[in-house]
């Protein structure tokens, strides 16, 4: 099988009932690891449950572009696509198809990669995903995207009562991102008792919380090519937007920092370290 075979979803069932898992690859077309591992994931022998694999944005994947008309991973929230121009986009149309698949599943794993050359793998989920995410062998977990940057596959899954997980598998040009994407999928399926495998546990993953997304006002130029999780201190310069200097609002960490040539583009998100999972377990609010 090849990635293009998953333009329409492929589903297989184990011999007994169990969780329904949907794995998406290359919702962003220039992040090839997700699509490239779908054949290997789909080939895993299932012990139970239902596994569906689908190539997120086939046309953008073929073109090796993040998207063709607009960012597919924002189109799941109608608030992000109020105009007829957005609703006529190929990505909006694709989101409606993918919503239908998410509606018929329990857990969504969306496989992504970062444009940052030094990016290390991390998981995006909200608190309903911590029980799984903290055992998937990934050292960093980021929550808060559902509020700060709504409209992704995981946002839609969470909003409709499922569990949405998004794995950032490292730099999109790193061939090892494919291995990490496969390992992430394999860890999830084994935690759910769907395949025979023992994931390598990381004892105490760190949990970060997004608190701010900066959107360009004119054109944004980062001060440095910040790696994901680059630490900045309160009032450190992050970049310049036109003639305005953008500084850190507190001590924290930068993710997805990128230059923006026009207004209204996502320039970076800013996270605080929340806790590690052990301290969350100890806290009465945890
Ligand atoms: Zn992506």
What is the C-alpha separation between 80 and 101, in angstroms, rounded?
20
pLDDT above 90 coverage of the chain, percent: 85
| Ligand 1 centroid – CA 16 distance (Å) | 33
| Ligand 1 centroid – CA 274 distance (Å) | 23
pLDDT digits (tens, 9 = 90+) for 205-223: 999 999 999 999 999 999 9
The yes/no answer on whether domain 209-273 falls in CATH 2.40.50.100 is: yes
| Ligand 1 centroid – CA 112 distance (Å) | 4
Edge to edge, the sheet with strand 163-171 lists 10-13, 48-55, 16-25, 107-114, 163-171, 122-124, 140-143, 206-215, 266-276, 252-255, 230-232
Question: How many Å from the N-terminal Cα to the C-terminal Cα in the chain?
Answer: 43
Radius of gyration of the chain (CA): 18
What is the C-alpha separation between 53 and 4, in angstroms, rounded?
11
- Find, among 177, 46, 197, 210, the residue nearest to 136 by Cα: 197
Comparing 12 with 83, which gets the higher pLDDT? 12
What's the average model confidence in pLDDT over 69-96?
93
What is the C-alpha separation between 6 and 28, in angstroms, rounded?
15
Looking at residue 285, what is its pLDDT? 44
Tell me, yes or no, if the two domains 3-191 and 209-273 fold the same way. no
**Which CATH superfamily is 3-191 part of?**
Zn peptidases (3.40.630.10)
State the pLDDT confidence band at 178, using cuts at 50, 70 and 90.
Answer: very high
| Ligand 1 centroid – CA 17 distance (Å) | 31
State the pLDDT confidence band at 231, using cuts at 50, 70 and 90.
Answer: very high
| Ligand 1 centroid – CA 283 distance (Å) | 33
- Strands 16-25 and 107-114 come out as parallel
Domain boundaries along the sequence of the chain: 3-191, 209-273
| Ligand 1 centroid – CA 62 distance (Å) | 15
pLDDT digits (tens, 9 = 90+) for 182-192: 999 999 999 99
State the pLDDT confidence band at 86, using cuts at 50, 70 and 90.
Answer: confident
| Ligand 1 centroid – CA 28 distance (Å) | 5
| Ligand 1 centroid – CA 179 distance (Å) | 16
| Ligand 1 centroid – CA 114 distance (Å) | 6
Looking at residue 279, what is its pLDDT? 58
């Amino acid at each position: 099988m090849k990635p293009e075979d998953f333009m329409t979803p492929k589903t297989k069932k184990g011999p007994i009932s169990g969780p329904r898992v949907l794995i998406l690859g290359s919702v962003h077309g220039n992040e090839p690891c997700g699509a490239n591992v779908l054949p290997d994931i789909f080939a895993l022998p299932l012990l139970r449950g239902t596994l569906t694999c689908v190539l997120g944005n086939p046309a953008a994947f073929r073109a090796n572009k993040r998207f063709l008309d607009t960012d597919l991973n924002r189109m799941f929230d109608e608030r992000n696509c109020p105009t007829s121009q957005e609703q006529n986009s190929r990505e909006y149309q694709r989101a409606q198809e993918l919503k239908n698949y998410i509606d018929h599943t329990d857990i969504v794993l969306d496989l992504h990669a970062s444009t940052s050359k030094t990016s290390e793998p991390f998981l995006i989920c909200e608190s309903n995903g911590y029980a799984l995410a903290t055992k998937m062998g990934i050292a960093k977990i980021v929550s808060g995207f559902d509020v700060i940057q709504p409209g992704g596959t995981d946002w839609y899954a969470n909003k409709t009562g499922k569990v949405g997980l998004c794995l950032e598998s490292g730099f999109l040009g790193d061939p090892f991102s494919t291995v990490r994407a496969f390992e992430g999928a394999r860890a999830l399926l084994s935690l759910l008792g769907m395949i025979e495998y023992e994931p390598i546990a990381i004892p105490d993953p760190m949990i970060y919380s997004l608190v701010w997304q900066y959107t360009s006002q004119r054109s944004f130029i980062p001060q440095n090519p910040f790696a994901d999780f680059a630490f900045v201190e309160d009032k450190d310069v992050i970049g310049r937007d036109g003639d305005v200097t953008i500084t850190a609002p507190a001590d924290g960490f930068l993710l997805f920092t990128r230059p923006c040539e026009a207004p209204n583009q996502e320039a970076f998100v800013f996270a605080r370290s929340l806790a590690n999972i052990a301290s969350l377990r100890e806290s009465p609010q945890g």
